[in-house]
Amino acid sequence: MNLSYQEKSTWGSLVATLAVYGVYFGSGARGSLIGTIILLVIVQIVCQIAIAVVARPEPRDERDRAIESKGWRNGYVLLVTGTLVCMLAPTARSLLLALVVSEVAKSASQLYYYRRGL
């Protein structure tokens, strides 16, 4: 399977987000949110550097912009829905979970559109 640079970058972001927040939400203990965010930033930087070394960055075209736009739309529909649901039981963790789910949905949507096409 021949992946474009943008698709590889999206995969890296998705895997980093799932790994870091999977540990954060999966642990019963209330971990440090600041530490989790710092870890995510570090993992994202390392991931994107590794992808840039392996695959040369390519200029984005109209297809990349359209896929990114649809991914953002799908992610933020879920974010708004999650935020509205969280108003019923407002906690910082539930709001963070809504944000993480929307980010995962955005990346997953983009990957779907790269494979399926527009």
> How far is it, in rounded angstroms, from Cα 42 to Cα 62?
30
Which residue from 40, 47, 41, 42 is spatially nearest to 19, judged by alpha carbons?
40
Domain ranges of the chain: 5-116
pLDDT level of residue 31 (50, 70, 90 thresholds): confident
CA distances from 47 to 16, 75, 105, 108 (A): 8, 22, 19, 17
Question: Each residue of 71-106: pLDDT tens digit?
Answer: 999 999 999 999 999 998 888 888 999 999 999 999
pLDDT level of residue 117 (50, 70, 90 thresholds): confident
